[in-house]
Copies of this chain bind each other. A is one copy, B any other.
Amino acid sequence: MTWIQEIRHIVGEEYVQTKQSSLLSYAYDATPNFNTKPEAVVAPASEQEIKEIVTVCANYQIPIVPRGSGTNLAAGTTPTQGGVVLLFHRMNRILELDEDNLTITVQPGVITGDICEAVEAKGLFYPPDPSSMKISTIGGNINENSGGLRGLKYGVTKDYVLGVNAVIANGDVIQAGGKNVKDVAGYDLTSLFVGSEGTLGIITEATLKLVPLPESKQTLLASFDSIERAAETVSKVIANKLTPATLEFIDRATIQAVEDYTHVGLPTDAEAVLLIEQDGPPSICEHDIQLIQSIAIEHEAISTQIAETEERATELREARRSALSALAKRSPTTILEDATVPRSEIATMVKAIEAIALEHDVKIATFGHAGDGNLHPTCMTDLRDKDEWERVEAAFAAIFRKAIDLGGTITGEHGVGEMKSPYLAWKVGDEGIQLMNQIKHAFDPDQIMNPGKIFHRSGGEVDE
């Protein structure tokens, strides 16, 4: 029996795809320029099946690449070394919503947006909200430690994962954490799995922390004729001990693209727009949003607008969430990055990105989460233009370098994947890479778990 036959035996014929047309569909994720077909695409139905698949793959040294909905932007879910792509659409059940303990236990294939809807129906709230949440899976979000628009006030995925089950390369099922908010029994394996990009094991179940759903929301749009004024507004909001739920930044190029795409009435004459939301009890929301509005006006906002209705607020929020789609329509290839800096360095970083784009003669629009310094410089280019592509790569290297110099990081919420692996050493040092490699080895000595991701082939060095 070949290994593919063995896997067919585990999950059933119909859940193993090996036709070229099927393999092609799973050769790439949302990252341009990475495209390698797997040898099989497998959809297991249970943790037990995953355990058996992993055992077969370990025996034959076959790479396993777990894939949620393939929205990854750093080539984290492309099978660049072939092998098996694991799908989770048959493991998409909410197993328990525990209202007493404020937890939800889910299988990895549940769409994150469905979790939000299920808990909101009970007056509860799962805050992490990556822009992809309507299509991305919770398993993918956990593997990538996804962020989103609410990072400043609510944190990111890791702040809500209380426990995971995972199958590691030797076939063991590791049960890390659980429903306990306080649990210090040994190393924090839960946090180690979160954001490990499928390189340590296959997550088969997760228990997430919930909080009460805020009673109300308020949304403010403020536009500025300079990036500095927008950034100063952000600083002043923080200095006033305010913690908005959302504090988004959009630059001129993105404003134009989003407006062309959504026609929601964004001020296309502005250099920068802030989209600010507060949630909580109505009196607090109102107080905070009005104070933020007055701070924006103090900092020479050219216009401010508090959404009068929930429809208008949704429109503005959706407009912001559409930024990638809007920019993607403007060129054959779009590269969305997520270099991140301490909040106080946002204006410096946005200016630096503009200068780098100019220097390398490439088109970069920037938007992102100003509240947590997580920016999305987005390059509109054409992969087929080899000369421009080289300039794009050089520009992004310069952007990563600048983020590091400002005390930031090469990736705030998208992950390292294969694409950013050459730059990881800039952030964590050769010592950090070596230690992470040793951790990887402890979990997966034969490198079958999503090989080639996080760790650069040449061992963490990058040509400059």
Question: Which residues on A are within 8 Å of B, measured CB to CB?
Answer: 98-103, 123-124, 144-145, 147, 151-152, 155-156, 158-159, 168, 172-176, 178-189, 191-192, 194-196, 200, 211-213, 235, 238-239, 241-243, 281, 283-284, 287, 340-344, 369, 372-374, 407-416, 420, 424, 427-429, 431-436, 438-443, 454
Complex contact B158–A191 (CB within 8 A): yes
Chain B residues near A174 (CB, 8 Å)? 429, 431-432, 435
Q: Using A174-B431, A180-B408, A212-B242 as known contacts, say yes or no to A185 and B424 having CB atoms under 8 A apart.
A: yes
Chain B residues near A241 (CB, 8 Å)? 123-124, 212-213
Complex contact A432–B195 (CB within 8 A): no
Could you tell me the distance in whole angstroms from the C-beta of A159 to the nearest C-beta in chain B?
7
Complex contact A443–B432 (CB within 8 A): no
Name the residue on B nearest A443 (C-beta): B435
Complex contact A342–B101 (CB within 8 A): yes
Could you tell me the distance in whole angstroms from the C-beta of A376 to the nearest C-beta in chain B?
11
Chain B residues near A200 (CB, 8 Å)? 187
Complex contact B100–A182 (CB within 8 A): no
**Cα distance A140–B158 in the bound complex, in angstroms:** 23
Q: How many monomers of this chain does the complex have?
A: 2
Chain B residues near A411 (CB, 8 Å)? 183-185
Chain B residues near A211 (CB, 8 Å)? 243
Name the residue on B nearest A455 (C-beta): B186
Complex contact A186–B340 (CB within 8 A): no
Complex contact B191–A99 (CB within 8 A): no
User: Which residue, A181, A184, A434, has most C-beta atoms of chain B within 10 A?
Assistant: A184
Name the residue on B nearest A123 (C-beta): B241
**Cα distance A374–B179 in the bound complex, in angstroms:** 12
Chain B residues near A343 (CB, 8 Å)? 100-102
**Cα distance A434–B287 in the bound complex, in angstroms:** 53
15 interchain pairs (CB within 8 A)? Answer: A98-B342, A101-B342, A155-B159, A156-B181, A158-B188, A174-B432, A178-B407, A180-B409, A186-B433, A189-B435, A212-B241, A281-B283, A281-B287, A284-B284, A441-B442
Could you tell me the distance in whole angstroms from the C-beta of A182 to the nearest C-beta in chain B?
4
Chain B residues near A435 (CB, 8 Å)? 168, 172, 174, 189, 442-443
**Cα distance A408–B162 in the bound complex, in angstroms:** 12
**Nearest 10 A-B pairs (CB), nearest first?**
A191-B191, A212-B241, A182-B412, A438-B442, A100-B344, A172-B431, A185-B427, A181-B372, A179-B342, A183-B409
Contact of A436 among B101, B158, B187, B428 (CB under 8 A): B187
Could you tell me the distance in whole angstroms from the C-beta of A447 to the nearest C-beta in chain B?
15
**Cα distance A98–B344 in the bound complex, in angstroms:** 10
Chain B residues near A369 (CB, 8 Å)? 182
